[in-house]
Amino acid sequence: MCGIVGYIGKRDAYSTLIKGISRIDYRGYDSAGIAVSINGSLETLKCVGAVSTLKKETSKKNACGTVSIGHTRWATHGKPTKANAHPHLSCDGKIAVVHNGIIENHQALRKYLISEGHKFTSETDTEVIPHLIEHLYEGNLEKAVAAALKQLHGTYGIAVIRAGEKKIVAARKGSPLILGIIGKGEYILASDIAAITEYTKKADYLEDGEICVLTDKGYRITDHDDAPHSHIVKTINWSVAAIEKQGFEHYMLKEIHEQPETMRTIIAGKFDFKNKIPKFGGIRITPLDLKNLDRAIILACGTSFNAGLAGEYFLEKTAGLKTEVVYASEFLCKAEKLSSRDLVIAISQSGETADTLAALRKANSDGAHSIGVVNVVGSTIAREVNSGGLYIHVGPEVGVASTKAYTGQLLSLFLFSLWLGRMRGSLKPAEAEAEMKRLTSLPALAEAALKNEKKIIAIASKFKNATNFMYLGRGIHYATSLEGALKLKEISYIHAEGMPAAEMKHGPIALIDKKMPVVFAVKRDDGYEKIIGNIEEVKARKGIVIAIAEESDKEIHKKADYVIRVPDSTQELSSMLFAIPLQLLAYHIARFRKCEIDKPRNLAKSVTV
Ligand code: F6R
């Protein structure tokens, strides 16, 4: 949530900052703002709406500031108004702060600061920070920031500037902050690497509890007591092209179409063809500990949770490991303590989701082995897992609705299950080899699935005005049905429910009438007859059936009103292939409804609060 950017250097601060925050406005887009230090004072600009509105305002400015901070907001405390937009200022207007996170004790601090004479102008939790820094300032900005941080409870990634001082002070606790090193004395600071890649490939990831002071002479990282910390600078491998639309109308559509390629990348990176076993060099658990595992617990939210449900199926079937999938937020409510015989798998595209991170920390403190299935390299979850993990390497996902990360998570989890099955001895070498052979055809099958887009557009146009949708699937396609429903509701604002097909009879069937489209994932497997039975039940109540079905299914068109074909494949591969038409269906319905597809209302790409 919320995007932060800071820049210090010789370039024009306005255009550099605006470019930076435009790159990460998927983190929040209800208001935006910027503060620039110019000739001993601060110039602040704020607006309600996306960064593009702010851009229009800044274009009227003369280019002269070279120290600046900017923000794109996803509201938590206070409505999206100009007054609530960041940066927030101290009473004297000399200190400006941008913040991502939540200050839990803001009410107590506000009360105290008001009693000390401070005047507040917004409803935000953030505004206590500049006032507190002002209150503690005795001539040294970093010292005042460190003293203020000691009084804050909650989470933050902050960047602070003060009029007349050529420096940015940044700090993090629970919200990501990355420092891009352009050159000595020229830095770009951001909550997301997408804001940095354009300027540099050299990045230094701040850790919780650290303060970083950037000046035009260099930078220094310390703890809150000024003890220096040394870091290794990492190389970013995302290109600028990867974060641009490349001719597609929306990032989401581009990312849907990238899936054959992302699948190829995953297969190329995780296959050890010589030894006929997937390779996972990043996992640090001894073979004996892997054998001794009693169960896996998958922790995730949203789309990553849905991927986890398919992961449960892979791990139980292929690796013979009992698996539970728990919403990360619910995991914290559980009384059970984990042990070293538990393997926790934290799935997160961003690697920053607050609930997943909190659940992971609890699992770590219980003594479980924890690994990550993460996209963003160097993200907090990737760093805090105690036994390594795997990156899905699908490149930057900019569209708020997750697409290529979902199939990347499924593919990576399936490969991981094959590896684990071999390591635990539950899978024979020939079985692993046969699965890997089948997997090599996956990218081409995904390409074939994408070819049915025209038909999907026609169906989307028919149902663009529906008010409810139901998605049904069995077994591994329970995950597909949840994911299909999630995609539709988040970008088109149509109410949709996904559930196991048989569950429909236990209540939701009451919703079926001639206006209700029901999307079935119809795989030709042991449950085929049962799914057909569910379709009959919907038809008997005049519901409309849209079936996602395999090419070889010659019966389905007699039962369903609309059929979207996907290539034939195994159960495991079908979990990825069936997701593609559902992503396209949601996308085209949302497009017909003229929705803000890449930035749906009320959402943000990564939920770090
Ligand atoms: C839906 C979506 C969200 C995320 C969820 C978890 O399209 O993107 O449901 O999946 O917020 O995010 P990550 O995977 O970054 O932990």
Would the pLDDT of 325 be above 60? yes
8-state DSSP, 566: E
Question: Could you tell me the distance, in angstroms and rounded to a whole number, from the CA of residue 599 to the centre of ligand 1?
Answer: 13
pLDDT tier at 271 (50, 70, 90 boundaries)? confident
Q: Cα(198)–Cα(221) distance, rounded to whole angstroms?
A: 24
pLDDT score of 569: 97
* Cα 547 to Cα 528: distance, rounded to the nearest angstrom: 12
Is there an atom of ligand 1 within 6 Å of 211 CB? Answer: no
In terms of Cα–Cα distance, which of 487, 488, 400, 405 is closest to 30? Answer: 400
Chain-centroid distance, C-alpha 289? 30
Q: What is the pLDDT of residues 423-470, one digit of tens each?
A: 999 999 999 999 999 999 999 999 999 999 999 999 999 999 999 999
Q: Which pLDDT value is given to residue 136? A: 98
Instruction: List pLDDT tens digits, range 347-385.
Output: 999 999 999 999 999 999 999 999 999 998 888 999 999
pLDDT score, position 474 = 96
* Ligand 1 pocket test, candidate residues 350, 391, 394, 602, most atoms within 8 A of CB: 350
Say yes or no to pLDDT of 52 above 90.
no
Domains and CATH numbers, the chain: 3-241 (3.60.20.10), 251-440 (3.40.50.10490), 450-592 (3.40.50.10490)
91 ligand 1 Cβ < 6 A: no
Task: Decide whether any atom of ligand 1 lies within 6 Å of the 490 Cβ.
Answer: yes
3-state secondary structure of 571: helix
pTM, 2 dp: 0.84
For residues 137-151, give the mean pLDDT: 97
What is the pairing mode between strands 295-300 and 322-327?
parallel
Output the CA 15–ligand 1 centroid distance in Å. 30
Q: Of residues 135 and 245, which shows the higher confidence score?
A: 135
What was the pLDDT predicted at 1? 64
Q: Is the pLDDT of residue 546 over 60?
A: yes
Q: How many residues does the chain have?
A: 609
Distance, in Å, from the CA atom of 383 to the CA atom of 604, rounded to the nearest integer, reads 22
Give pLDDT, residue 494: 98
Task: Tell me how far apart the alpha carbons of residues 155 and 158 are, in angstroms, rounded to a whole number.
Answer: 10
**Number of alpha carbons in the 13 Å side-chain half-sphere of residue 605:** 30
406 Cα nearest atom in ligand 1: 10
Q: Give the Å distances, CA to CA, from 314 to 279, 406, 515.
A: 17, 15, 36
Catalytically annotated residue among 362, 523, 559, 605: 605
| Ligand 1 atom showing the smallest separation from residue 376 Cα | 15
pLDDT for 12 equals 85
Query: Would you state the pLDDT for residue 51?
Result: 84
Between CA 317 and CA 272 the distance in angstroms is 22
301 is an active site residue: no
pLDDT bracket for residue 75 (50, 70, 90): confident
Per-residue pLDDT, averaged over 32-50, amounts to: 91
Predicted confidence band of residue 14 (pLDDT cuts 50, 70, 90): confident
Give the pLDDT score at 50.
80
Give yes or no for residue 306 CB within 6 A of ligand 1. Answer: no
For residue 356 and ligand 1, the question of a CB distance below 6 A is answered with yes
Distance 561 CA to ligand 1 centre (A): 32
Nearest CA to ligand 1 atom 7: 401
Q: Does any ligand 1 atom lie closer than 6 A to the CB of residue 349?
A: yes
- Of 71-80, 88-97, 318-327, 433-442, the one with minimum mean pLDDT is 71-80
Instruction: Decide if 337 contacts 591 (C-beta within 8 A).
Output: no
C-alpha span between 578 and 254 (Å, rounded):
18
What's the gap in Å between 350 CA and the centre of ligand 1?
8
Residue 93 carries which DSSP code? S
Q: Which residues contact 400 (CB under 8 A, 6 or more apart)?
A: 26, 252, 490, 491, 598, 599, 600, 603, 604, 605
pLDDT digits (tens, 9 = 90+) for 470-526: 999 999 999 999 999 999 999 999 999 999 999 998 999 999 999 999 999 999 999
State mean pLDDT over 202-229.
95
Q: Compute the average pLDDT of residues 600-609.
A: 75
Averaged confidence pLDDT in the chain: 93
Give the Å distance between the CA of 352 and the centre of ligand 1: 10
| Mean pLDDT along residues 69-78 | 87
Residue 322 catalytic?
no
Q: Which residues pair with 300 in a beta bridge?
A: 327
Among protein residues, the one whose CA lies closest to atom 10 of ligand 1: 303
Percent of the chain with pLDDT over 90: 80
Question: Which protein residue's CA is at the shortest distance from atom 3 of ligand 1?
Answer: 302
Question: Which among 228, 202, 64, 205 has a CA at the least distance from the CA of 142?
Answer: 228
**Minimum-distance ligand 1 atom for the alpha carbon of 303:** 10
H-only helix segments in 319-440: 328-331, 354-366, 380-384, 404-424, 429-439
Report the distance separating Cα 32 and Cα 23, nearest Å. 13
Contact 374 CB / ligand 1 (< 6 Å): no
pLDDT at 159: 98
User: pLDDT band for position 74 (50/70/90)?
Assistant: confident
pLDDT of residue 62: 62
